[in-house]
Amino acid sequence: MASITLSARSLTALLGEWKSAAPVYRGLADRIRLLVLDGRIPVGTRLPAERELADRLALSRTTVTAAYRELRDAGYLRSTRGSGSVTLLPGSPTALAAVPQGGFLDFSKAAVPPCPEVIDAAVAAAAELPRYMHDWDYDLVGMPGLRQAIADRYTARGLPTDADEIMITVGAQHAIALIARTMLSRGDRVLVEMPSYPHAYEALRGAGARLGAATVSSETGWDPREIEQWFARTSPALAYLMPDFHNPTGASMPLDTRERVARAAERHGTVLVIDETTAELNIDRPESYPPFVATATAACGRSAAASIITIGSVGKTVWGGLRIGWIRADRGIIRKLVSTRSMGDLGTPILDQLTVAELMPVMDGIVERRGRQLGATRDRLVDLLHDRLPEWSVPRVNGGIATWVNLGEAASSQLALAARSHGLVIVAGPRFGIDGAFERYLRIPISYPWGDTERAVDLLAAAWGSASFGAVPTSAYLDDVV
């Protein structure tokens, strides 16, 4: 039985601008296929009835029937009389045999390769493990040594922090979901950025939040008046923001905007959740900012800082395979998070914590080297895209893990589908928006080795120049955006 039923209205919102040069039924099938592949329509979702969707899209029922038939033939849909049509991922030998020669190059994850220090740190952590095997098992807060090391880094960056203001989590996504479950009630309004990290949207919606968005762009960043007006109209319970090297635009929030956001949140009693997972990935940003909480404290006083929760992790600096993140918050909030956490998990792996603790003394060097690596890839990528795809507008980000490219036309989903047929997995712009926005944009990571990045541009150029964007991929691959 399908776990989710998607109404015609909701599906229409997800489809966005889906029509292309391909026949209408095929364009509709291709767009639904992409929505399934990149997770915007979960596997096992019941789609609206053919007549209902046809009426909503102002199409003939014959067109929708043909689109559903195309999806069934490709293995993306199972239809049962009386039960409707349910989404699938194709897993048959025939489908898997059609993977392009050489396999897929996966650019759906803006993730860094492991830094070389990880191996030695893991070996040293394993040697330390026997000391902790009898005293540390189910711990909801995290090991004192690691919490102190993280607190010391905040203090060094201009934000005095104690170890008991830190909770260790299983990565940043776990932190976002835990905060959402703890701080929100069903129906609460939440302010998010758009575009933004899609798994944050999912975690907030999973907690029952009603999302409203403030726009962010690579060129102009945030509009503080829009954010202030949103606070004034709705008094949101929570706001989720990424002010440093924003994912996916790469923008950084100016100091005066940070102060205005902090004041607005304090006036309306809003909890600010500040995602700083990319905050230290500086390439050549001319300004240097302390942690957001330090700015808020200077602008509004310590009482405002008590309602700000900061998220960090080593996933974007050291390696995503080390599932270690953290929450910095007021002690009272940490206690609430501990109470909630036991309903979902019973702690963070000890060996991973020990490994990260071994890395903390050399973290400054790791971060500095990451910045150089990202900068070198950024420079070469910008030059290559200007040469190969001159009609695209490519921002020169000064930090972070990706560039948010303007394609010049609403073709991101079509391009993502065509790229799959050429062997490249990349996420269409609407994955980072709400209800089908950002068809003109594509996130291209700058965190991959140069050889892979150069090959990705070759495949994108081939897909962009192909006779039709309507090529049908047959991979059983399901994107997971990072």
pLDDT reported for residue 42: 82
Domain boundaries, the chain: 4-95, 100-114+365-464, 117-362
Kindly give the pairing relationship between strand 105-106 and strand 424-425. parallel
Rounded to the nearest 10 degrees, the angle between the axes of helix 24-37 and helix 61-74 is 50
DSSP output for 25-47: HHHHHHHHHHHHHTTSS-TTEEE
**CATH number of 100-114+365-464, picked from 3.40.50.150, 3.90.1150.10, 3.40.50.620, 3.40.50.11030:** 3.90.1150.10
Integer Cα distance of 125 and 359 in angstroms: 10
Number of H helices, E strands in the chain: 18, 16
Q: Give phi and psi for 45, each to the nearest 5.
A: -85, 135
Domain 117-362: give its CATH architecture: 3-Layer(aba) Sandwich (3.40)
Query: For the stretch 328-359, what's the b/e string if a residue is b when 16 or more beta carbons lie within 10 angstroms of its beta carbon?
Result: bbbeebbeebeeebeeeeebbebebbbbbbbb
pLDDT one digit per residue (tens) for the chain, 482 residues? 446 889 998 899 888 777 877 789 988 998 898 888 877 788 889 999 999 999 999 999 999 999 999 999 988 899 887 778 999 877 533 333 345 556 789 999 999 999 999 999 999 999 999 999 887 778 999 999 999 999 999 999 999 999 999 999 999 999 999 999 999 999 999 999 999 999 999 999 999 999 999 999 999 999 999 999 999 999 999 999 999 999 999 999 999 999 999 999 999 999 999 999 999 999 999 999 999 999 999 999 888 889 999 999 999 999 999 999 999 999 999 999 999 999 889 999 999 999 999 999 999 999 999 999 999 999 999 999 999 999 999 999 999 999 999 999 988 988 998 898 899 999 999 899 987 688 899 999 999 999 999 999 999 999 999 844 544 443 333 345 66
Distances (CA, A) of 248 to 75, 233, 375: 31, 27, 16
What SS3 class is residue 404? strand
Q: Taking a C-beta distance cutoff of 8 angstroms, is the pair 418, 466 a contact?
A: yes
CATH number of the structural domain 4-95: 1.10.10.10
Residue position matching structure tokens 């919102």 = 13
Q: Taking a C-beta distance cutoff of 8 angstroms, is the pair 51, 89 a contact?
A: no
Integer Cα distance of 374 and 115 in angstroms: 13
